[in-house]
Amino acid sequence: MVCTVSTPLLIDTDPGNDDAVLIALALASDEFDVIGLTTVAGNETIGNTTRNARSVLELLDRTDVPVAEGCGRPLVDEPNTADVHGPGGLYGAVPEPGVEPIEDHAVRFVLDQVRRYGDELRLLAVGPLTNVALALAIEPELPEMIDGIHVMGGAATTTGNVTPAAEFNFHHDPAAASRVVQDGTPSVVGLDVTDRATVPAGEIEELARGDEPGRSIACWLAYASHDELLAGLDESRDRFSVHDAVVIADLLGDVLTFEDYYLEIDTSGGPSHGSVVCDTRGVTGRDPNATVAVEIDTEEFRSVLFDTLDELV
Ligand code: BDR
Ligand code: CA
């Protein structure tokens, strides 16, 4: 088993603008050693999310980080994509990636890293949970073998963003989300807090007026092209929630408050398909199976974000 000074991080992701911000923050911090990116279909097709992951690494001059391509469709449901991430799923410069993904499938790569780094490893999963669910199916002891699984997904105590009840990542692959919640003892960071992880337009525009990689990071923060940014953003538009970045910001600072709850994911196919049923009153009598983020300090989030990005721009 490998022992490291900084904490090894494995990021399962579907970039995606907010995914790209998370990747940039993780790479900028010397608290973490990003040992790889695994990709999953979600915000875009698997071809596009894998290309975007490699483009982000190219832009940030970190092509030493391996990228393993993962599942191209949900376990049970039909594939769909998100519509807020721009053409191909990523705004900004998106340079042509020079390095190919590794040969291993993402699920195989995850399992190898779990065995290699053991209880030092943190697994961040900020896309649909297809790869993670399959890894758990192959290695049921995985949650006990590593330091933790940190998920962005769900709306435990609030409304959804793709249906009135469901959040995008969990709705994309509810069967996988259900498996991870049942067996993964995850920390769950959902819309309950990430909706409030916003960045003021003025600060994004200032970043956009500088050089790369700040310009592209500004585009990712705003889910907007560089031209749109230079024309000026409408401060009143609710478009700057940097959902995935909250997961890493809380590992870097003290941004979130958590409570333990018993969760189930609705896989019934009805109007609340993909939603989280969160037993806040303890009426099921079941032991908690997840640690759920319930409160965010937005000012602290912004200060962790910009302090960490300072290392890059
Ligand atoms: C989640 O959905 C995706 O569009 C984002 O990347 C984030 O992971 C927010 O609901
Ligand atoms: Ca994502």
pLDDT along the chain (313 residues), means of 10: 80 98 97 98 97 98 98 96 90 91 98 98 98 98 98 98 97 98 98 96 92 96 92 70 98 97 98 98 98 98 96 87
In a domain, 25, yes or no: yes
- Helix, strand, or coil (residue 54): helix
Take residue 303 and report the two structure tokens written for it.
């200060």
Q: Which atom of ligand 1 is nearest to the CA of 18?
A: 6
In a domain, 2, yes or no: no
161 lines ligand 1 (CB under 6 A): yes
Q: What distance in angstroms lies between residue 223's CA and the mean position of ligand 1's atoms?
A: 12
In a domain, 290, yes or no: yes
Span 137-151, pLDDT tens digits: 999 999 999 999 999
Domain count, the chain: 1
Q: Measuring CA to CA, which residue among 128, 150, 131, 127 is closest to residue 139?
A: 131
In a domain, 194, yes or no: yes
- Tell me the torsion sign for CA atoms 203, 209, 215, 219: positive
Residue 231 CB burial class (10 angstroms; 0-12, 13-18, ≥19): exposed
Active-site residue numbers? 243
243 lines ligand 1 (CB under 6 A): yes
In a domain, 1, yes or no: no
Q: What distance in angstroms lies between residue 82's CA and the mean position of ligand 1's atoms?
A: 8
44 lines ligand 1 (CB under 6 A): no
152 lines ligand 1 (CB under 6 A): yes
Q: What distance in angstroms lies between residue 43's CA and the mean position of ligand 2's atoms?
A: 7
Dihedral (Cα; 31, 34, 39, 42), 10-degree rounding: 10
- Asked if the peptide bond before residue 16 counts as cis, ω within 30 degrees of 0, the response is yes
Per-residue pLDDT at 34? 98
Per-residue pLDDT at 235? 67
* Residues whose beta carbons lie less than 5 angstroms from ion ligand 2: 14, 16, 19, 126-127, 244
CATH number of 29's domain: 3.90.245.10
**Eight-state DSSP code of residue 119:** G
CA 186 to chain centre: 13
Per-residue pLDDT at 5? 78
Q: Ligand 1 pocket test: pick from 12, 23, 84, 126 the residue with the most ligand atoms within 8 Å of its Cβ.
A: 126
Residue range of the domain that includes 283: 7-309
Q: Which atom of ligand 1 is nearest to the CA of 17?
A: 6
Q: Measuring CA to CA, which residue among 206, 208, 237, 11 is closest to residue 121?
A: 11
Nearest residue by C-alpha to atom 10 in ligand 1: 168
Per-residue pLDDT at 233? 81
Q: Which atom of ligand 1 is nearest to the CA of 194?
A: 9
In a domain, 202, yes or no: yes
In a domain, 22, yes or no: yes
Residues 6+ positions from 228 with CB-CB distance below 8 Å: 222
What whole-number distance in Å separates Cα of residue 175 and Cα of residue 274? 8
Q: Which atom of ligand 1 is nearest to the CA of 167?
A: 10
Q: Ligand 1 pocket test: pick from 48, 49, 129, 168 the residue with the most ligand atoms within 8 Å of its Cβ.
A: 168
Per-residue pLDDT at 11? 98
168 lines ligand 1 (CB under 6 A): yes
In a domain, 160, yes or no: yes
**Phi, psi (deg, nearest 5) at residue 296:** -130, 140
